[in-house]
Amino acid sequence: MSSSGRASAPAPGPIRSFDFPRVRREVLDNGLQLRCVGVPRLPVVTVSLVLDAGECNVDDSHAGLAVLTGDSLEGGTAVRSGVALAEALEGIGAGLSVGTGWDSTAIALSCMADRLDEAMELLAEVVLQPTFPTDEVERIRGQRLAAIKQGRMDPASIATYASRAATYSDGAPYGRPLGGTEESVSSLGSDSAAGFVEARYRPGGAGLVVVGDVDIDHVKSLAEGSFGNWSGDAPRVDGIGAEPRTTARRMVVVHRPDAVQSEIRIGHVGQPRSTPDYFPLLVLNVILGGAFTSRLNMNLREKHGFTYGVRSQFAFRRGPGPWTISTAVGTEVTADAVREALSEVETLVADGPTDEEVEAARDYIAGIFPLRLETTTQIASRIAELLIYDLPDDYHSDYRDRVRSVTRDQVAEAARRCIRPDETTVVIGGDAERVRSPLEALGWAPLEIESAP
């Protein structure tokens, strides 16, 4: 084809339908929710046990306990030592991964499908019979404390922690680092981990998700065999405290002498996962800073070259997680970048998006949906999301229709309701000597300067 014959983008071919894979739903006698999906594409399986055991389940003085407990599971079980456990799991090609968040702990492994029986037994052993040997928990606590020290010298982490602390009032869990502080983690040990398991690692409130090249009936009998004797409930804790620290504008510089870049965080308290504005906010976020072509990225990166990239995010949790814009920019353009970012936010809230933007964002979110469901791990985490956030079983079959039905007015209203420029806190981790005057010249809020932790 000659150059002239290729002047415009080709039209799409006939669309092929996509359905979320069929989920088999069972509840064991002890209350454990079982979700199983047969995906025969490749001989692999992912098993994920999702527990109602997150950092929101511990108070400030024990901050980091859910994380430490999850990390300490590798210390050993009543059946074998930590070393023997690692050898047993990895001998069948299964690495154990523990992901602890605010709302849940997910203990997961993937392996070749013909090793599922052994993998399921080992997973049950880890969750039902952990022993938390004192020396192992002390070792892992030492690693956690060293990691916290590392985070205090990482420019991105410094800015994120400062932003969270500035966003939420004292006592709100989301204002502290997920893994806790040096002080809180130092006070934790083997007994606290065992106590957390006793209270929160329970089948009532938990879900077992199995996705891969498996026979669904066989999975059910495996689950009954491995988890059937487990008992108890982890009652849902409601009403997570998430008061804002202030509803006034704030601008804080966390001073890092000689920093070559400034890490910028702009935000305030956002919305919970249960918000009725969820779908309009997904669309809004893609337009503001959730995609390469977003207003923020096209301005700060592609127009001005201030940064390698900028993102915005609503952290949807059981309680209202933060709404945040994050970027790292050259020190000399810090104030320019803050001005441009705030101006994009103000314009979007005042005028709303265009019809064209809403249509493009809807197409993107709906279109990308099957691309995010290629792997057993991706499917398993989508299903786990339903369990953690009490979403209906048919949620995924309606998902793309719900995205496509979002209107421009809904997005504009959600923007006005959920983003409040005059209640925003701007945190800059950078060289205060160099960024101070240009930031003050913005006249946006009085400048507060803190020293780095």
Partner 1 sequence: MLSIPAERFTLDNGLRVNLSHDPTTPVVAVNLWYGVGSRNERVGKTGFAHLFEHMMFQGSRHVPKGGHFDLIQRAGGSLNATTWFDRTNYFETVPSHHLELALWLESDRMGWMLPAMTQEKLDNQRDVVMNERRQRYDNQPYGDWDEWIQAMVFPETHPYHHTVIGSMEDIEAATLEDVADFFGIYYVPNNAVLTVCGDFTRDDAIKLIERHFMDIPRGADIPPIPGDTELSATIGSTVRECVEAEVPLPRVLMAFRIPPYSDPSFYAADVASAVLGTGRASRLYRSLVRERREAKDVTSMAFPLTSGAGMLILWATGFPGADPEALEAALSREVEALGTVRDEEIDRAVALTETAWVREIEQVGQRADLLSMFDQLFDDPGRINSEIERMRDVSPKDVAAFSEDFLGTNNRAVLTYVPADSGVVAGGSP
**Contacts with partner 1 in 371-400 (CB under 8 A)?**
371, 373-377
Task: Tokens 């970012």: give the residue.
Answer: 341
Instruction: Pick one of 22, 25, 59, 90: the residue that binds partner 1 (CB under 8 A).
Output: 90
For 20, the 3-state DSSP assignment is: coil
Least separation in angstroms between CB 257 and partner 1 = 10
Q: Determine the Cα–Cα distance for residues 157 and 267; give it in Å rounded to an integer.
A: 16
Nearer to partner 1, 217 or 363 (CB): 363
Indicate whether 332 belongs to the interface with partner 1 (CB under 8 A): no
Indicate whether 443 belongs to the interface with partner 1 (CB under 8 A): no
149 Cβ partners below 8 Å, 6+ apart?
182
Indicate whether 434 belongs to the interface with partner 1 (CB under 8 A): no
Nearer to partner 1, 109 or 386 (CB): 109
Indicate whether 291 belongs to the interface with partner 1 (CB under 8 A): yes
DSSP state of 12: P
Least separation in angstroms between CB 184 and partner 1 = 18
Count Cβ neighbours within 10 Å for each residue of 51-77 and write b for 16 or more, e otherwise: bbbbbbbbeeebbbbbbbbbbbbbbbb
Kindly identify the residues of this chain, within the stretch 105-134, that bind partner 1 according to CB under 8 A: 110-112
Nearer to partner 1, 87 or 393 (CB): 87
Indicate whether 299 belongs to the interface with partner 1 (CB under 8 A): no
Indicate whether 182 belongs to the interface with partner 1 (CB under 8 A): no
Q: Both tokens of residue 440?
A: 């003050």
Give the binding range for partner 1 (CB under 8 A) out of 87-95, 231-239, 274-282, 345-353. 87-95
Kindly identify the residues of this chain, within the stretch 15-54, that bind partner 1 according to CB under 8 A: 15-18, 41-44
Q: Determine the Cα–Cα distance for residues 98 and 421; give it in Å rounded to an integer.
A: 37
Task: Tokens 């130092």: give the residue.
Answer: 186
Q: Determine the Cα–Cα distance for residues 99 and 108; give it in Å rounded to an integer.
A: 8
Kindly identify the residues of this chain, within the stretch 233-252, that bind partner 1 according to CB under 8 A: none
Q: Both tokens of residue 310?
A: 């900028």
For 384, the 3-state DSSP assignment is: helix
Nearer to partner 1, 246 or 308 (CB): 308
Nearer to partner 1, 242 or 254 (CB): 254
Indicate whether 305 belongs to the interface with partner 1 (CB under 8 A): yes
Q: Which of 101, 106, 59, 78 is nearest to 241 (CA)?
A: 59
Q: Where are the alpha helices (DSSP H) in 152-215?
A: 155-167, 182-186, 190-200
Nearer to partner 1, 301 or 317 (CB): 301
Q: Determine the Cα–Cα distance for residues 280 and 403; give it in Å rounded to an integer.
A: 8
Count the site residues for partner 1 by CB under 8 A: 80
Kindly identify the residues of this chain, within the stretch 255-284, that bind partner 1 according to CB under 8 A: 259-261
Cross-strand partners of 255: 430, 451
Give the binding range for partner 1 (CB under 8 A) out of 48-56, 86-94, 381-389, 417-425. 86-94
